[in-house]
Structure 1
Amino acid sequence: MDTKIFTPDQIQAAAAELKKGNLVSFPTETVYGLGADATNVSAVKKVYKAKGRPSDNPLIVHVADVETVEKYAQPLDENVKKLMKTFWPGPLTIILKLKPGALAKEVTGGLDTAAFRNPNKQSTLNLIQAAGVPLVGPSANTSGKPSPTLAKHVYHDLNGKIAGILDDGATDFGVESTVIDMSTDKPAILRPGAVTVDQIERVIGPVDDAVHHVSADQVPKAPGMKYRHYAPDAQVQVVDHKDDWKRAADWIKGQDETVGVMATDDVIDSINWPQNAELYSLGKDVSTASHLLFAGLRHFDLENGVDNILTQGFPATELGEAYMNRLNKSAGQKHFE
């Protein structure tokens, strides 16, 4: 099929494709999602096929309002309502217990819970409203690859596999939403993101912040807990400390091929780089680095097929926790030594 590019003034045309059971990628404030009617099982199955996604990896359901969540989920408790009031619309995904049979197992991974999100992107909220149904929306990339932060990233991975892409420019945050499980006795952060643990705890009190992975025989409640994620074709290595970059530059000089370097401006400006280092700025701090991480990984995949990418690490606190979660998965936990 031809993958069409829709602009924000073509919402009705994009919604028409969703109503026909086709797939349309949409932007959020975090990354681009791959949209399908969450109530249409055949449409949801197309999402797994287009992405090459494991069938036990549940999908996040994107909604335009809290009333839609109440249609599918068990009654919302006060802490859930506080989270929604504080962080929605925004980059927080909330896992809730479902009413029996409310959503198909293709959406939930066979669990009795589902993840809901109200994205802070007006064009996508308009799209959900025009479609008249909640939309599943995993990241719109080939499964395991870096998440897309531009429409061109989606087009690269999924051209010919989906009906269209709603292009509303670059995303704001660059890392996916925080996922919190509110279906258990104690709330648990299953995936760190732009909403930090401290921000959440100021609203609802203590949460469990150690549940980011599951074993091979478990079904994950949220994306990113089990399978390889965010990895470009090149081998990514994390450079943990600024003092390590001079040694990293010496290592690059000894390589026969070009090596990608992703670092903040102060690191880039402080090193005498060899000619075979291709530099990609992550801006000035962890905030800009989080925004640019996936775009940088895709830059080296799409525009310069390097075999190695050295990428700057940050302390895993606040937003740095989300950044390092994604970077370590991109690198397969490989750190420059």
Structure 2
Amino acid sequence: MQVLSPSDENIALAASFLRDGSLVAFPTETVYGLGANANDGRAIARLYEAKGRPRFNPLIVHVADREHAERLGVFDDRARLLAEQFWPGPLTLVVPLVEGAPINSLVTAGLDTVGLRVPSHPIAQKLIQFSRVPVAAPSANRSGRVSPTTAEHVAGDFENVKGLIVNGGRCPGGLESTVVGLAGDAPLLLRPGGIPRDEIETELGEPLHQPEHKPDAPASPGMLTSHYAPRARVRLNAQQARPGEVLLGFGPDAPPETILNLSERGDLTEASANLFGYLRAMDTCRADTIAVMPIPNEGLGEAINDRLARAAAPKRNGG
């Protein structure tokens, strides 16, 4: 893929590529996305092929604003409340698909729901606005691998794929969006992410429930058991490295053999921003196993632990 600087001229060029059915990778406030025109079945098929992604795994559709989102999905009071509070930003809402909406069925994996997000990153916003189409965009990495937070990560995964990469530098968030399901009576936390559970529950005034686990029929992206995985095995809750391992630390008490520390201060926001980049960097050590120190399971720690648990799961195709 060809890497472009983020000038308005280049973003307009990338937008024209999207409209015409080509693939375009671009930065968001979470990770880089690999975008395709959500109305174009051939473009979506190219996206699935490039990622090696199973077609039963639905895609998130990125739009410029809530007005556009409501032309594609059915918003109830809960959806409007969360959109008002957290959009633009790292929140995806899974809502019923509007009857007759032009979204290709490959995007929704044949479901009667659609995942919608309004990203806040200025490059993502310009690209969507210039393209004038809804953009289906999973993370811009080979399926099941570690998500990309730089243009270099994307280029390394897709060097032989036709398309463009808009280089916006490092993504500030580092964790994918939180996905909330609002197609039924009970709101569901389909994927922890960049907005902590407690902030969403406070806004809704009710708890988020856990979805039924269906690994071969996920209701949203990021629900496959093995996901976000480096090439090396991952061992969790490690206090030190064993022979043949490298240690990914967290906090001020990390032992001397720590290769990288997600946050020496024990800051979960810093750790979330570093997670995917550090996993990729640790993979270059060519150790058999990456040992990871414990992460508190609170706030953004819930999303970090979710990604680490999926990275540590037995490998299978996903993405």
Q: TM-score, normalised by structure 2?
A: 0.93
Identify which of 294, 311, 327 aligns with 2:276.
294
Q: Which residue of 2 aligns with 1:237?
A: 235
2:161 equivalent in structure 1 = 161
Partner of 1:72: 72
TM-score, L = length of structure 1: 0.88
**What is the alpha-carbon distance in structure 2 between the residues aligned to residue 201 and residue 208 of structure 1?**
6
Q: Return the offset for 1:197.
A: 1.6
The farther-off stretch of 320-329 and 308-317 is 308-317
Partner of 2:253: helix, strand, or coil? helix
Q: Which residue of 2 aligns with 1:267?
A: 253
Q: What's 1:305 paired with?
A: 286
| Cα contact 1:91–1:176 (8 A) shared by 2 | yes
Alignment-derived partner of residue 94 in structure 1: 93
Residue 69 of structure 1 deviates from its aligned partner by: 1.1
- The residue that corresponds to 2:204 in the other structure is 204
Structure with the bigger percentage of helix: 1
Match in the other structure for 1:330: 311
1:266 is paired with a residue whose SS is: coil
Assess, with a 3 A threshold, how the Cα gap between structure 1 residues 212 and 148 changes in structure 2: closer, same or farther.
Answer: farther
What is the RMSD of the two structures over their aligned residues, measured on CA atoms? 1.7
- Unaligned ranges ≥5, structure 1: none
Secondary structure of 1:201 counterpart: helix
SS at match of 2:12: helix
1:267 positional shift: 2.9
What SS does the aligned partner of 1:8 have?
Answer: coil
Check the 8 A contact 1:32/1:171 in 2, yes or no.
yes
Q: How many residues were matched structurally? A: 310
Residue 220 of structure 1 is matched in structure 2 by: 218
Offset at residue 148 of structure 1 (A):
0.5
Task: Measure the CA separation in 2 of the matches of 1:64 and 1:162.
Answer: 25
Give the secondary-structure state (helix, strand or coil) at the position aligned to 1:279: strand
1:330 to partner: Cα distance: 0.8
> Which residue does 2:262 correspond to in 1?
282
Indicate if the aligned counterparts of 1:24 and 1:162 stay in contact, CA closer than 8 A.
no
Could you give the per-residue CA deviations for residues 193-220 of structure 1, whole angstroms, max 9, x where no partner exists?
A: 121121111111213332273243xx21
Paired amino acid for 2:20: K
Render the CA deviation track for 1:130-179: whole Å, top value 9, x for unaligned.
11101001000000001001111111111121411111011111111000
Q: Show the counterpart of 1:82.
A: 81
SS in 2 for 1:71: coil
- Identify unmatched segments of 5+ residues in structure 2: none
Aligned match of 1:5: 3
Give aligned-pair identity as a percent: 40
What is residue 52 of structure 2 aligned with on the other side?
A: 52
C-alpha distance 227-46 of structure 1, shift in aligned 2 (>3 A): farther
Distance apart, 1:272 and its partner CA: 4.2
Taking the aligned partners of 1:5 and 1:173, their CA distance within structure 2 comes to 21
- 1:239 counterpart SS class: coil
Give the C-alpha shift of residue 42 in structure 1.
Answer: 0.5
Deviation by residue 1:106-135 (Cα, 9 ceiling, x = unmatched)? 010100100000011011100001111010
Tell me, in whole angstroms, the C-alpha distance in 1 between the residues paired with 2:204 and 2:260: 39
Q: Distance in 2 between matches of 1:215 and 1:15?
A: 34
- 1:40-82 Cα offsets, whole Å, 9 max, x none, are 11001111000000001000000011111121122x2222111
Most deviating of 113-122 and 315-324: 315-324
Q: Which has the larger radius of gyration?
A: 1
Is residue 11–residue 126 contact of structure 1 (8 Å, CA) maintained in 2? yes
Residue 292 of structure 1 aligns to which amino acid in structure 2?
N
C-alpha separation in 2, matches of 1:124 and 1:17? 14
What amino acid maps onto 1:287 in structure 2?
T
